Amino acid sequence: MKQLKSLPGLLIALATLSGCAINMGVPVKDPVQSTVAYNNNGAAPQPVGLAVEDARDGKNKEQLLTGRIPMNLTYQDKPFNAVNWIADQTAREMSARGLPVTVAQAGGAGTKLSFKRISIENHRASGFSPFVTFTSLRADIDTPQGVQHVAAYVKRGKVPVWSFDEVIDPTYNAPLDVLTKELAAKLNQQLFKQSVSDDQVKVLIDKVNRDIALDTVWLDVYQLGFSNNQLAVPELVKLSSHESEYVRLAALSSLGILKATAQMPFLVGRYESQTGIWQDRAMALKAIGDMGTSESRAYLEKQMERFKTGEDNESRWTREIISLYL
């Protein structure tokens, strides 16, 4: 009996020694909205009200957070409602870019946005390795062309130095920020088809090159992907080989967000490369999924077959990415 009573204390001690936290509170912050508006191409866009539906299965509804370390997300001192928060923040982001988007009241009419999956998984190999999160969503949006699938996937990591609190912003708030911006960019593609101007894209490319040594530059790289302007593609191809992991991942992901279908052979080459780390291959695969073509779908089906029985982390995480698109 003594052994059983001491087990919780032992687990807490082991977690502390490994730099982990048990059910640590994670206060979610509002994202910083983008400041560059999309061009309306001479015609004012028609207002859109998003009729939001939580269509996640029971397991996903009950367990938004998964992984090695139990964490507890809150927003404004209340339990975090992922569907409402993402819908609200996505609408705010689109509005900040000049798109007239609101969230319809519960039960109200509007353009249906159905959330199929929202997930945040954490992982840490040891107390000396980065604390990593994989933040993802899959949703369906009703459009004049029919129901369209949209997905987002963000990988981030941080090694805590002084306190485990240091991981909260880099591995939870930053990915949620990017997640809402990626969803906003993809909804723009489906509903408005507006782009950031060529001049603004050039300004952003100059900023990325000027600030390339800064830890936050990866966020500006993502902004190139959110621009919906193909002018950004050559710069993103170049940045996808940068020495900074998160610059590379943002660039690879952005090629998919822009649906740069001409880069499909390049992305396949990056995914199938025997060099580099899994994250690079994973984000190249995510970009292939974003292309949304029959060729990209066939390629994902082939990879799902390849990894369908693997129980190692790479196989499992790869299946998770592919399932966002199939």
Return the domain boundaries, the chain: 18-193, 195-326
Largest CA distance in the chain: 76
Tens of each residue's pLDDT in the chain, 326 residues: 434 444 444 344 344 434 455 678 899 999 999 999 999 777 788 999 999 999 999 889 989 999 988 889 999 999 999 999 999 999 999 999 999 999 998 777 899 999 999 999 999 888 788 999 999 999 999 998 999 999 999 999 998 878 878 999 999 999 999 999 999 999 999 999 999 999 999 999 999 999 999 999 999 999 999 999 999 999 999 999 999 999 999 999 999 999 999 999 999 999 999 887 899 999 999 999 999 999 999 999 999 999 999 899 999 999 999 999 99
> Which two tokens mark 253?
């992901």
Indicate the residue type of 152: A
Indicate the residue type of 181: K
Helices (H), the chain: 2-17, 58-62, 82-96, 168, 174-191, 198-210, 217-226, 233-239, 245-257, 264-272, 278-291, 294-307, 313-323
18-193 architecture in CATH? 2-Layer Sandwich (3.30)
Query: Rg of the chain over CA atoms, in angstroms?
Result: 20
Q: Residue 95, class by beta-carbon neighbours within 10 Å (0-12 exposed, 13-18 middle, 19+ buried)? A: middle
Distance CA 281, CA 273 (A): 8
CATH value of 195-326 in 1.25.10.10, 3.40.50.2300, 3.40.47.10, 2.60.40.350: 1.25.10.10
Q: How does DSSP assign 153-173, residue by residue?
A: EEEEEE--SS-GGGGHIIIII
Q: How does DSSP assign 188-202, residue by residue?
A: HHHHT-----HHHHH
Q: Is 138 helix (H, G, I), strand (E, B) or coil?
A: strand
Angle between helices 278-291 and 245-257 (to 10 degrees): 10
pTM of the model: 0.92
Distance CA 246, CA 218 (A): 6
Indicate the residue type of 35: T
